[in-house]
Amino acid sequence: MKKNIGIRAKRNLKITAISVAAVLVLFFSLYGVGQIMLAGEAKKHFRGAVAESLWSAEQAFSVEAEGYTVFTAAQNQFTVLFISDTHFINGGWYGVGGFWTGTMRNNAVYGDIKALVEATRPDLIIHTGDLQTDKLSDLIYEEFCVFMDGFKIPWTFTFGNHDAEMRADKAEVARIISEAEYSFFRSGYTNLNGLGNDVILIESAEGSILFAFILADFGDWQKRKDPDKYLSTYDVGATDNQIEWYRWVCEGLDETAGYTVPSALVAHIPFHAYTYAVELGERNYGNPFATESEWGFDFYRGDVAANEFGQKETATAGNVTEEEYTAYMVYYRETGKRAKDVLTRAGYDNYKANSPFFSAVSSYGTRWFVSGHNHCDGYSYEFDGLTYVSVAKTGDIYTHKDWDGGNRGGTIATLKFTADGVTLSTAPLYK
């Protein structure tokens, strides 16, 4: 009897082992097939088309002619929910890179965004870039647009450094997003820098301009040199044409309104002034990781002009001294700490006077800067009369607790208009 039990146990164990092996073989066979199919799909290229629209500093400024999106501030208030760096990945059958967990991870991020929107019910939602980071980018954008339109709330998007590096080029991404029902994304002029350089105005019930959000595309980091990457770049940073356009917009708005129009610059990548603000300014909230020593840099690209096949590789360092930047980076790498003793007010004054980009954007009514890119828990600092806001990282894809302390979500911005002027307050919101 005991012998028979032993024989059955061995037989059952053998059957179990064979079954497990068969399941593993099937699983990895499907995984292999999926990877092969994904590789084939990733080689496809979807090139969009954008009608050429050339800007010139000589052209007359007109809000009507520019066709800017205009919102009315109800009860002298307007709210914007900023989300950033969602880094959506391939889902469904093609989400094989994470053993088909892509859909679950994406859904978790969608759930976070839904909770943020339901908690705030904003007047406008702005995604500040790096929306996705995976091979089948066109499908990811299409899914995102359907999701966002479900809120029936106006929304728009600024390009991040990863958003046009996959199989859908920048023009195709712009087409997908601009065709969404509630999207207010516009490609803008095609000879500035990328796409989406645009202005959103907030007006009073009487039609007076109260505030302007100026949106900018500061370029991409392409993974390969591909002449078909239409309107994309191989580096990041502002160009002279873009800087002059910014001046033209601000001067045009001021002349139209008859006063200095307060504004906020919204772009994915922060610039070196953020670093000074964090080190020398006053903290409103947040606990920025030392990423500012790396990310907060101008990457000014001089007179490189946009053309059909992207930008030349002529990126130059921002307008800080090489000695200051080198000392800052060495200190950070050796100690893991930000270098308050390296960045000085004198260095900032030199930077402000000599940076073509910063001297332009800080010369008009722009008093707020909003960026993503840092994957942090969101912060705000004030320095030299300007406010620097880093949007809290949205979702749990491509994160690290050293960057965000485990706090992820978005940032809510509230504009209030009174007889004394305009205030813009921001606060991080976590899932």
User: Does the CA dihedral 252-256-261-264 come out positive or negative?
Assistant: negative
* Residue 347 near residue 374, CB atoms below 8 Å: no
Radius of gyration in angstroms for the set of CA atoms belonging to the chain, rounded to a whole number: 24
Query: Domain coordinates of the chain in residue numbers?
Result: 44-430
- From CA 269, how far away is CA 246, in angstroms rounded? 16
Whole-prediction pTM value?
0.87
Amino acid (one-letter) located at 209: I
Total H helices, total E strands in the chain = 12, 13
The β-bridge partners of 426 are: 413
Instruction: Give the Å distances, CA to CA, from 94 to 34, 135, 141, 166.
Output: 6, 9, 15, 15
For residue 88, how many other CB atoms are within 10 A of its CB? 24
Q: CA-CA distance, 273 to 259, in Å (whole number)? A: 26
Architecture of domain 44-430: 4-Layer Sandwich (3.60)
Q: Which residues contact 260 (CB under 8 A, 6 or more apart)?
A: 254, 364, 365
Rounded Cα distance between 396 and 378, Å, is 15
d(C-alpha 154, C-alpha 120), whole Å: 14
How far, in Å, CA of 189 to CA of 172, rounded? 16
Q: How far is 134 from 132, CA to CA, in rounded Å?
A: 6
Q: What is the pLDDT along the chain (431 residues), one digit of tens a residue?
A: 555 666 777 777 888 888 888 888 877 777 787 778 778 888 888 888 888 999 999 999 999 999 999 999 999 999 999 999 999 998 877 777 777 788 899 999 999 999 999 999 999 999 999 999 988 999 999 999 999 999 999 999 999 988 988 889 899 999 999 999 999 999 999 988 889 999 999 999 999 999 999 999 987 766 545 555 556 665 677 778 889 999 999 999 999 999 999 999 999 988 878 888 888 899 999 877 644 433 344 444 443 333 332 333 333 334 445 565 555 555 555 655 555 556 778 878 888 887 888 888 888 999 999 999 888 899 999 999 999 999 999 999 988 777 788 899 999 999 999 999 999 999 999 98
